[in-house]
Copies of this chain bind each other. A is one copy, B any other.
Amino acid sequence: MTEDDEVTAGSGASREERRRDPSRVLALTDGVFAIIITLLVLDIHVPELMAHETLGTAISDVRPSFISFVIAFIVAAMQWVGHRDLFTLIRYIDRGIIWLNLLTLFAVCLLPFGSALLSRYYEDPLALRVFGLILMGTAVARTAIWAYATRRPSLIHEPLDRASIRSGLALSVFPVAVYIIAFVIAGVSPRASLAVYASGPVLYFIAITLLHLVAPRGSAERQFT
């Protein structure tokens, strides 16, 4: 906890409150996610029919665009749900959280490019690695916000016990580890790498569901969606 985080007395206190209010950070974040979620639809162009071509064969050309939209949608939706979970813990923000959150948004903004690349070159190690780096960026930024906020009791709603902090950290670090594996094996077997990325959402749902069952009532882990 730095000196800054203490609330100063008198009229300064409410000034501090306003400075530390997360509402505009959330408004910007929700706006960026709304755009990222819809952005790749722009890439799904209506096909122009050539002579002797049916709409059926022409429409199959938009398949890569459609797949990249689906990938970006699922990943962005999961990131957004994770972001929402994270910020139900955070009461106040400071300079550190604002910039770590902007770092998250930077990685999220690259998702459409990453998934468009992946949908077209899913057998190329480079495409798999670029996609992996972007996902790692979002996961690292999330881990950083979790570690930063949970160590500063003045920023969060209720103090978390050590077990909750650790299992939350594990849940944030876990995807990073998965993405590193996918990144490394991309050079050896692109298909195995792709399978690891694809299993990411599935594993996350399982991990979350296990936490819901195992964690004691009212603990922070129970809050993850």
Contact = CB atoms under 8 A, between A and B. Distances in A.
A15 B116 contact: no
A28 B30 contact: yes
Specify how many copies of this chain sit in the oligomer. Answer: 4
B4 A212 contact: yes
Interface string A125-158: 0110010000000000000000000000000011
Contacts of A84: 24, 98
Interface in A104-122: 105-106, 109-110, 112-113, 116-117, 120-121
Contacts of A59: 117, 126, 130
A192 interface: no
A8 to B, nearest CB: 4
Interface string A29-43: 011111111110110
A112 B42 CA distance: 8
Nearest to A113: B44
Interface of A: 4, 8-16, 18-19, 21, 24, 26-28, 30-39, 41-42, 44, 46, 49, 55-56, 59, 69, 73, 77, 80-81, 84-85, 88-89, 94-95, 98-99, 102, 105-106, 109-110, 112-113, 116-117, 120-121, 124, 126-127, 130, 157-158, 212, 217-220, 222-223, 225
A81 B109 contact: no
A36 B39 contact: no
Nearest to A23: B26
Nearest to A24: B84
A119 to B, nearest CB: 8
10 contacts: A11-B157, A12-B219, A16-B218, A27-B30, A38-B109, A42-B42, A44-B110, A55-B121, A81-B102, A84-B98
B217 A15 contact: no
Given A59-B126, A88-B15, A158-B15, A109 B37 contact: yes
Contacts of A49: 121
A85 B15 CA distance: 11
B55 A157 contact: no
A121 B121 CA distance: 30
